[in-house]
Amino acid sequence: MMQSKWMTLKDEFFFQTNTLEIAQQLLGKILVTRFNNQLTAVRIVETEAYLGTIDKASHAWNNRYTARTSVMYKRGGIAYVYLCYGIHHLTNVVVQKENVPHAILLRAGEPLMGIDIMQKRRKIKKVNQLAAGPGNLSKALGIHLGHNGQPLQSKNFYLVDDGCVYPNSSILATPRIGVDYAGEDALLPYRFIVKGNECVSGPKI
């Protein structure tokens, strides 16, 4: 087996034109943070695509442009972080070129590095649960509002391809979580999970 080298994701990855495909390709990629010299990393196993102006579940639906959503209109490759329910910080990857406000919510990850650090941040021990759910993933990695708009090619905050690819046959598409307000768009199968992975959020299959 050839061991692939770690490669930071480049602009071309984020600029691909099909956001649903990017959301699936993000499965298997590694998100690394090194805040306050604390190195943590997870392999992404669950994502959700939000297709901007035509998607009622998206913050940018109908070209909504506010101080908060302005980050979604920037060029792909930066982080869109916002507070949900007053408690949870949710991390998204902005994709597409400037003025196309698509984003992909990172919903769950498999812990790879800095597990002890993540256990302290989360105040729990079970490794499978450390980054299961978008609020939990952000907390485990130390991501918060201050990282909103930061490039994901930063020295302390980046995405890596280590050669791990999940074939289509091991990816399951389901409706997105918690978007009932979006009417018929709530039913779109824009959530992608790695089949059978223990770190995916929600009830066990």
What letters, b where the CB count within 10 A reaches 16 and e where it falls short, cover 97-115?
A: eeebbbbbbbbbbbbbebb
Structural contact between residues 179 and 30, judged by C-beta atoms closer than 8 angstroms: no
Tokens 């997105």 map to which residue?
176
As given in the structure block, the two tokens for residue 96 are 């597409």
Residue 204 as a binder of DNA (CB under 7 A): the answer is yes
Q: Which residues pair with 80 in a beta bridge?
A: 92
As given in the structure block, the two tokens for residue 180 are 């009932």
- Could you give the C-alpha distances from 19 to 104, 107, 123, in angstroms and in order? 8, 16, 34
Please identify, among the stretches 30-38, 134-142, 156-164, 166-174, the one whose residues bind DNA according to the rule CB under 7 A. Answer: 134-142
Out of 28, 76, 77, 134, point to the residue binding DNA (CB under 7 A).
Answer: 134
DSSP H or E stretch at residue 25: helix 19-25
Out of 1, 167, 181, 184, point to the residue binding DNA (CB under 7 A).
Answer: 181
As given in the structure block, the two tokens for residue 51 are 């297709």
Residue 190 as a binder of DNA (CB under 7 A): the answer is no
Counting Cβ atoms within 10 Å, is residue 11 exposed (0-12), middle (13-18) or buried (19+)?
A: exposed
Q: Which is nearer to DNA, 163 or 183 (CB)?
A: 183
Please identify, among the stretches 11-19, 30-38, 132-140, 191-199, the one whose residues bind DNA according to the rule CB under 7 A. Answer: 132-140
Contacts of DNA in 41-60 (CB under 7 A): 48, 50, 57-59
Out of 1, 12, 87, 184, point to the residue binding DNA (CB under 7 A).
Answer: 87
As given in the structure block, the two tokens for residue 2 are 């050839």
Site string for DNA, 89-128 (x = CB under 7 A): -x-x----------x-x----------------x-x----
Please identify, among the stretches 23-31, 79-87, 158-166, 190-198, the one whose residues bind DNA according to the rule CB under 7 A. Answer: 79-87
Task: Give the total of residues touching DNA (CB under 7 A).
Answer: 40
Cα 190–29–180 angle (5° rounding)? 20
Q: Interface residues with DNA (CB under 7 A)?
A: 48, 50, 57-59, 64, 66-69, 72, 80, 82-88, 90, 92, 103, 105, 122, 124, 129, 132-137, 176-179, 181, 201, 203-204
